[in-house]
Amino acid sequence: MNANNEHKKYLKKLKWHTIKVAFSQIMLLVLFIVAWQILSDKGIINAFLCSSPKKVVDTIINLWETNDLLIHVWVTLKEILISFGLGTIIGIVFAAFLWWSPFASKVLDPYLTILNSLPKVSLGPIIIIWAGANQNSIILMALLISVISTIISVYVGFKQTNITSIKLLKSFGANKLQIFTKVILPSNLNTIISSLKINLSMTFVGVIMGELLVSKQGLGYLINYGSQVFNTNLVITGVILLGILTSILYFIILFVENKIKKEW
């Protein structure tokens, strides 16, 4: 009875703690927005350079009314989903190939290291020449930025798979494909998910970079256009919309991760 009470108290405390954290998180955001608005109203910060929450909302409504908002968001989202999907698949397949052939992985090791440290943005101009000033360039750029790190992190995970597990499968007479599908892949689900998270932010960098260089639509275009016509409202609105988009995609990955982990 006593222990039961104690447990109830403990649960209450836990719940209260969660509420406190969530409340503080929201308050921090509200405070920031309010302060931003007041500072620009009072003329302490330059509203023309720094915009203000009201102006951002106005800009969003404006974009909505001219039907531009969804188009720009959709174009960026589409580019992200395509390059993210391609990057993930190519990355995992290539990592599997490296695991499969230790010889190939030894041969390719220095090249992967160089490619990984090379700022892929510097390839932007040549990509535009090759793929044309269109969405293909943007997707290719994002793919290049994300795929190398995916390959490396997934391959490292594959290589560090528990040796006894592999020995066990060999003792049952498993072939290489069975070892891959029964141990290597499932035991690296965590590695793959965490590389997805990194992959996602890399893809964002690539897509926005590409859109800044060549595009007629998308959030990157919006930001670039805003800065060219010195419309800081548009620039900041673009950045905020991007922030919202990343968080949504990030939470989707987290949701999937929790779904999988709940099982075991």
Q: Interface residues with another protein (CB under 8 A)? A: 162, 164-165, 167-174, 178, 182-183, 186-187, 189, 263-264
Closer of 5 and 258 to another protein (Cβ): 258
Q: How far apart are CA 220 and CA 29, in angstroms?
A: 24
Q: How far is the CB of 198 from another protein (least distance, A)?
A: 23
Closer of 103 and 172 to another protein (Cβ): 172
Closer of 49 and 177 to another protein (Cβ): 177
> Residue 198: which residues within 8 A CB-CB, separation 6 or more?
149, 150, 153
Closer of 141 and 183 to another protein (Cβ): 183
Q: Which of 81, 73, 56, 80 is nearest to 221 (CA)?
A: 73
Q: How far is the CB of 242 from another protein (least distance, A)?
A: 36
Cβ–Cβ under 8 Å, residues 151 and 89: no
Q: How far is the CB of 56 from another protein (least distance, A)?
A: 46
> Residue 214: which residues within 8 A CB-CB, separation 6 or more?
128, 133, 134, 137, 138
Q: How far is the CB of 260 from another protein (least distance, A)?
A: 9
Q: State the chain's maximal CA–CA distance in angstroms.
A: 76
